[in-house]
Each structure stands twice: as structure tokens, then as C-alpha cells.
Amino acid sequence: MPRHFLTGQELDREQLLALLARAHQLKAAPGSSDALAGKSVALIFEKPSTRTRLSYEVGVTELGGHAVVLRPGEMQLSRGESIADTARVLSGQVAAVGVRTGPDALIEELAAEGSIPVFNMLTELHHPSQALADLMTLQEAFPDRPLDELRLAYIGDGNNVARSLAILGEAAGLEVVVASPQGYELEPESGGERTSDPQAAAAGSDALYTDVWVSMGDEQTADQRRAALAPYRLDDELLSLAADDAIALHCLPAHPGEEISAELLYGKRQRIWDQAENRRHAQKALLEWLLASA
């Protein structure tokens, strides 16, 4: 049976920590692995992308493989071909397939109907690829402390990024608290703690994390969302409540002056641009793990 990476729950703690350790090795020596030599990986983008497209496509190339980038208008899915039939075709042509889409049901059906690894590059409910890079970045920022001694406060909308942080953070032993206003809360079963108080979440934390207030698909409620989330801005005042060496994190793209202040986004107490680079290294380790069973 192929391995899949749909929510992050596919990894137990030992596997997750081993994958992160491998990511650090690959960052130190980017050209050291040819795990995808002679293999092609399909990358299906039904939603726009900068970091995901770059990190996965470059990562596949660095592993010696070939990335086949597919967009909705270039596939027969847009003309009514079934997901099951698409899965069968992909299984006969490529070694693995990643999907950046909306409904989680699409990626779940691809995994169920195909015979190759399927990995999540973003869905409505999950963004586990991002969470891998986030955990790797925390390890870099606090090299003398294991993840199970750290506390991360996610401030803002309880969205797919928050959910994946809670899921994979719990697997790694990381303390994750999610602070969101009423109506934007993350469900408790995802793991971690919940609060409506951003100051309480920030207090003593080692990292403060935020995401955009208006994600793809939220445009119709943009004004309502901005009003509700305004007290949850990540800035120097909020960071002052955290640990003395605390860092700011953001999965990008950012809107300076909205969910994060420009001073913090481009300041000395953030690891945001390291996060963006670490997408590639963590995902290369993920691809090795996925293909190890193939």
C-alpha cells in the first residue's frame, strides 16, 4: 500500500522527528540525495501558489526527479473526467502526486482510487506541508531545546494552517495554543489548547504565529473578517508578552499592517523568511519518506 500525506496524522511522533532530522540534513547538503532519479512527480495546482509551487518543483529537481505541473484548464478533470479515472491515469505515469485544491474530498478520493503516494499541498481543512517547515524552523531557532519544551501561540483565524499546526505540533510534543475570536475558533479535537484571548496565548510563548485574515475563498466576507480579527494583530506589543527570545512566524503571503505589523514582519525577531525556504527542505524529506514504500 502506498504512503499518503493528507492531514499529517499519517506520521507518528518517531516518524515525524526522523523526517525533520532528515530535512536538516538535506538543507545542509541540498544535492546529496537522488531519491527521485528517473522518476516524475505530478503537482496539481487548482489554487494559486508561490511558495508551494517553488518549493515542491525545485525540491523534486534537487532530488533528481522531474516535476510535472498541472493546472485545472490543462486536465480533463475540468471537462468532467472523474477523479477515480484521473487517479488511475496518474498511477500509470508518475511516482507520486501532490494536490493544491479546495475540497478535501478530492485528495481523499485520489488517494483511495490510485496506487501511488498522494500528498497535500493545501486543502480547505489542512496544510500539513507548511506545518513541517514550521516545526523545522522552530528547531533551527531553538537548537538547544526539543520541540516538547517549546510553546507556540497561533493568533488569528482557526483555519487550515492552525489545524495542521495543532495536529503535527501535538505529534511532535509541541505545546500549541490557538487564540481566535468567536466564530473563527478551531475545533478542539484537532489538538492543542484554545482561547479567545491573544494576550493570554502570547504570554510566555516561544513563538507567535499568524496567517492572513482573508484567505482564498473568503473574499465575500472580507470586511467582516477584518473587523473580527483586528484585535488579533501580531505586533511588537503582543510579542513583548512572549518569552525574551521569542520569534514571529507567518506562512505568507503577508499583508503588513493587517494581521502583522511591518516592523515585525521585516524585523530582527522573526524567522518568516527561513520558514519559506524550509518548505523545500522539509518537503524533500517528505518525498523521500513517501517514496520509500514505493
pLDDT single digits (tens) 20-73? 999 999 999 999 999 999 999 999 999 999 999 999 999 999 999 999 999 878
CA distance 135 to 185: 22
**Domain chopping of the chain, boundaries:** 13-127+279-291, 128-276
Q: Cβ–Cβ contacts within 10 Å for residue 10, how many?
A: 17
Is 211 a known active-site residue?
yes
What CATH class does 128-276 carry? alpha beta
pLDDT computed for residue 176 by the predictor: 98
Q: In this predicted structure, what is the pLDDT of residue 284? A: 98
If one counts every other C-beta atom within 10 angstroms of the C-beta of residue 267, the result is 13
Is-catalytic flag, 34? no
Question: What would the pLDDT profile of 110-136 be if each residue is shown by its tens digit?
Answer: 999 999 999 999 999 999 999 999 999
pLDDT score, position 214: 86
Looking at 211, 235, 280, 281, which residue is catalytic?
A: 211
Determine which one of 100, 126, 271, 280 is catalytic. Answer: 100
Q: Is 279 a residue of the active site?
A: yes
* Mean pLDDT over the full length of the chain: 96
Selecting among 130, 139, 270, 275, the annotated active-site residue is 130
Confidence at residue 13, expressed as pLDDT on a 0 to 100 scale: 98
The stretch 72-78 carries a mean pLDDT of 78
pLDDT (tens digit per residue) in 184-237: 999 999 999 999 999 999 999 999 999 999 876 778 788 999 999 999 999 999
CA distance 194 to 17: 25
Predicted local confidence at residue 218, as pLDDT: 73
Mean pLDDT of 278-287: 98
Three cell numbers written together for 173:
510534543
Helix (H, G, I), strand (E, B) or coil at 66: strand
The residue annotated as part of the active site, out of 51, 127, 151, 271, is: 127
Topology of domain 13-127+279-291, CATH: Rossmann fold (3.40.50)
Give residue 90's Cα distance to chain centre.
24
Give Cβ neighbours of residue 92 (< 8 Å, ≥ 6 apart): none
Selected catalytic residue, list 139, 235, 250, 251:
251
- The secondary structure of 139-177, three-state, reads HHHCCCCCHHHCEEEEECCCCHHHHHHHHHHHHHCCEEE
